[in-house]
């Protein structure tokens, strides 16, 4: 086994060696600008880019003309939301999203609020799913966009995207979905699910960082966007800037590999994730899974070990790379807002660990991790005044704490 073991695949993924190999020529001999229409260097680059468009489109059930390239999913999400808001401003100014969305979505919506748009941030139920009835009720005649992520990056929960798409189609509202954690992991079909815009990230599916894509529907309806980056009119005027050819080639190859390997990979990772979960829950009491177990990515496990704080746990399993919803692990000292939205309580957020299994993880690594985590949780519970109090029969919710 190689240490440290990497189990943080929701944060980023290693570049698949086959992806890297596909990219290299575009750093070397084939360095042309894809917009150079008059010589072989440009033609070779353009051909590679078009191939990549097809590969990405194929992964999500779209047409290659509907794929535009960006610097990453954050940019794709910004473009989708701001692009629609500005283009359709005369139709309305109301946007609906969810409280558990990625900051790329939330912060973009907050910025639009400052410019006079109204945003509804739908709460989620205890399992992390949005309430479809609530979505329906929040739609007004001024609603122009619904943005709900396909799969959540912290808790791996899968939203009822097909139903959301159906509601939006019925009401004639555009539907954008942040597909970063779902594309390449579960079958995404923009036609079947009535998705009008979908954001994709290269480095979340074994491709390189610094490249992403946005699917923009061209039929039923034809979606238009106001470009956010001007200068040259690339990508059908939707996103100017010389294309990151090597990155795009990598993204395309990564999508192609995912399409081929997704079924088997999901099965293998689901088995490993379940094994990890079952081992931990069998050995440790007061352990809680955050978010729906049924509607969830096969490779995600977000679990709280009550009375043990997340950062101290990460320190103890220092040869395993994972992340936590604890305030101590965040740059802003705020606990995870996603876990908070589940209503679990900040203390469980502080005790949470997120495991993201990936293509390159082995069963041996998972077994090692399970044992290590069990050992460290037990040791930290010996150190925990809360665990001690609970074992003595004290109801922690009745205690008067002296928080400063």
Task: Point out the catalytic residue in the list 109, 168, 255, 328.
Answer: 328
Q: Which of 179, 98, 110, 172 is nearest to 135 (CA)?
A: 98
Question: Among all chains, which residue has been given the structure tokens 């192609």?
Answer: 256
Kindly tell me which of 96 and 348 has the beta carbon lying closer to other proteins.
348
Angle between helices 73-87 and 103-114 (to 10 degrees): 30
Strand partners, 301: 355
As given in the structure block, the two tokens for residue 97 are: 């999203």
> Do the strands 320-321 and 94-98 form a parallel or antiparallel pair, or are they unpaired?
unpaired
**Burial of 99 per CB tally in 10 Å (0-12, 13-18, 19+):** middle
Residues that bind other proteins (CB under 8 A): 307-312, 315-316, 326-328, 333, 335, 345-347, 350, 382-388, 396, 401-404
Dihedral sign from CA coordinates of 6, 10, 11, 17: positive
Q: How far is the CB of 337 from other proteins (least distance, A)?
A: 14
In the complex with other proteins, the residue whose CB is nearer, 163 or 347, is 347
**Distance in Å, CB of 107 to other proteins, minimum:** 22
Q: How far is the CB of 328 from other proteins (least distance, A)?
A: 4
Nearer to other proteins, 282 or 315 (CB): 315
Using omega within 30 degrees of 0 as the cis cutoff, is the peptide bond preceding 130 cis?
no
Q: How many other C-beta atoms are found inside a 10 Å radius of the C-beta of residue 327?
A: 17
Of 251 and 313, which has the nearer Cβ to other proteins? 313
Pick 162 or 394: Cβ nearer other proteins: 394
The verdict on whether 109 is a catalytic residue reads no
Distance, CA of 87 to CA of 257 (rounded, Å): 35
> Using CA atoms, how far apart are residues 291 and 336, in angstroms rounded to an integer?
13
CA–CA gap between residue 123 and residue 131 (Å, rounded): 8
Answer whether 11's CB lies under 8 Å from 356's CB. yes
| Residue number with CB closer to other proteins (79 or 306) | 306
Smallest distance, Å, CB 346 to other proteins?
A: 4
Smallest distance, Å, CB 341 to other proteins? Answer: 15
Residue 389 CB, shortest distance to other proteins, in Å, is 9
Distance of CA 295 to the CA centre of its chain: 15
CB proximity list for 289: less than 8 A, separation 6 or greater: 277, 301, 302, 303
C-alpha 372/C-alpha 366 separation (Å) is: 10
Contact 162, 189 (CB under 8 A): no
Nearest distance in Å: CB 226, other proteins: 39
Residues 6+ apart with CB under 8 A from 393: none
Give 24 or 396: the residue with its C-beta nearer to other proteins.
Answer: 396
What lies within 8 Å, CB to CB, of 55 at 6+ separation is: 252, 253, 255, 256, 259
Question: Residues with catalytic annotation?
Answer: 328
């Amino acid at each position: 086994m190689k240490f440290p073991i990497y189990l943080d695949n929701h944060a980023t993924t290693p570049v698949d060696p086959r992806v890297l190999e596909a990219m290299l020529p575009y750093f070397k001999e084939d360095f042309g600008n894809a917009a150079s229409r008059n010589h072989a260097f440009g033609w070779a680059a353009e051909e590679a880019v078009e191939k990549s468009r097809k590969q990405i489109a194929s992964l999500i059930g779209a047409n290659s003309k509907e794929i535009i390239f960006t610097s990453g999913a954050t940019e794709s999400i910004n473009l989708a939301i701001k692009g629609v808001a500005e283009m359709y401003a005369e139709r309305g100014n109301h946007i609906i999203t969810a409280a558990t969305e990625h900051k790329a979505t939330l912060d973009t919506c907050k910025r639009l609020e400052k410019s006079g748009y109204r945003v509804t941030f739908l709460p989620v139920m205890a399992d992390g799913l949005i309430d479809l009835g609530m979505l329906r009720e929040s739609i007004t005649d001024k609603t122009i966009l619904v943005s709900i992520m396909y799969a959540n990056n912290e808790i791996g929960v899968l939203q009822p995207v097909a139903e959301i798409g159906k509601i939006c189609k019925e009401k004639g509202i555009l539907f954008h979905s942040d597909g970063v954690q779902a594309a390449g992991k579960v079958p995404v079909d923009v036609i079947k699910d009535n998705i009008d815009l979908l954001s994709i990230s290269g480095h979340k599916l074994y491709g390189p960082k610094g490249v992403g894509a946005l699917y923009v529907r061209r039929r039923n309806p034809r979606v238009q966007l106001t470009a956010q980056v001007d200068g040259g009119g690339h990508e059908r005027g939707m996103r100017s800037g010389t294309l990151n050819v090597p990155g795009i080639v990598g993204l395309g190859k990564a999508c192609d590999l995912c399409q081929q390997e997704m079924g088997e990979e999901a099965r293998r990772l689901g088995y490993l994730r379940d094994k990890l979960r079952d081992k931990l829950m069998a050995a440790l009491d007061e352990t809680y899974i955050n978010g729906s177990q049924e509607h969830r990515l096969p490779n995600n496990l977000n679990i709280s070990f009550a009375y043990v704080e997340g950062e101290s746990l990460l320190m103890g399993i220092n040869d395993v790379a994972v992340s936590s919803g604890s305030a101590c692990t965040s740059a802003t000292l705020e606990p995870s807002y996603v876990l908070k939205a589940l209503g679990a309580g900040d203390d469980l957020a502080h005790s949470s660990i997120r495991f993201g299994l990936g293509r390159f993880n082995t069963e041996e690594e998972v077994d090692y991790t399970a044992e290590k985590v069990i050992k460290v949780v037990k040791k930290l519970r010996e150190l925990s005044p809360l665990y001690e109090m609970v074992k003595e029969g004290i109801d922690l919710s009745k205690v008067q704490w002296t928080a400063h």
